[in-house]
Amino acid sequence: MGYLKFDKTLLINLEESLSREVLRTNRKGAYHCTTIVDCNTRKYHGLLVMPVPKLDDENHVLLSSLDETVIQHGAEFNLGVHKYGEGIFSPNGHKYIREYTMETVPRTSYRVGGAVLAKEKIFLQSNNRIMIKYTLIDAHSPTTLRFRPFLAFRSVRELTYANGNANQSYEEVMNGIKVCMYKGYPDLYMQFNKKVTFVYEPDWYYGIEYQKEQERGNPFKEDLFVPGYFELFIEKGESIVFCAGDVQRKYLSRLPAFFDKEVLKRTPRSSFNNCLKSCGHQMLYRRKGEDM
């Protein structure tokens, strides 16, 4: 029996699913946090949130979210979820989720068209890097995956808005790109384990809302920058790994094996003691120059 398991009935009910959040941390003070349907509801939610000592003592949201799109026969199924004004959610990717489990790492299963796609996440303990593995479990026709990164580059205490000071350029790196929106921030490297096409299509997404901030009476709307999208073909049974961090990743072809190896290091939630141990690991923070 899984430690945590939610089925489609709960996941498509946003009143229920948006109240359930996931937090994964590392030993350097960085973290990944969002809801179980990957819709951010707080301004400190994000895929990659990390300290930037050159700026201040705060954590900063670099990569807010990553929208995935499954494409078959020209039909696009967007798996992302964002809240906008008047209770509008767009896209409605939560409708494609069939199951969410948390035995060792978060795992989400989607069914779209003739495809079944699984998504698993890990946050590296010693590096500021989020890794996401996508496995195409089943497909009845050729399948393409598209990924749109939503960038924030701001403190967890603030919100960001469309502006002319943001650096909208990018630089190609092996199997991906690097970006840096503002001076003083580290470069953000977004890479895959195989060759990927990046289409430069810069745009601001306006008025994204954070429901929990609104409920608390705080400012709750912001604009996020999307530099473009990645696109690649995936075969049935194949796994694609995306990673984002402040240091360029080498040996990218080894990412799927590295991901699986990292999963084995995590504590499975198979007993009460293991649950306590797993929670304890989430609270460890190693300051620079400090042994642990």
How is the chain split into domains, by residue range?
Answer: 5-282
**Domain 5-282 belongs to what architecture?**
Distorted Sandwich (2.70)
d(CA 27, CA 128): 9
What is the amino acid identity at position 208? I
Residues 6 or more apart whose Cβ sits within 8 Å of residue 102? 2, 3, 4, 5, 22, 269
- pLDDT tens, residue order, the chain (292 aa): 456 899 999 999 999 999 999 999 998 999 999 999 999 999 999 999 999 999 999 999 999 999 999 999 999 999 999 999 988 999 999 999 999 998 889 999 999 988 999 999 999 988 999 999 999 999 999 999 999 999 999 999 999 999 999 999 999 999 999 999 999 999 999 999 999 999 999 999 999 999 999 999 999 999 999 999 999 999 999 999 999 999 999 999 999 999 999 998 876 665 656 555 555 555 555 555 554 4
Estimate to the nearest angstrom the gap between the alpha carbon of 11 and the chain centroid.
18
Contact 218, 156 (CB under 8 A): no
* Burial environment of residue 245 by CB neighbours within 10 A (0 to 12, 13 to 18, 19 or more): buried
Residue position matching structure tokens 């003083």: 184
Of 143, 104, 149, which is closest to residue 242 (Cα–Cα)?
149
* pTM exceeds 0.85: yes
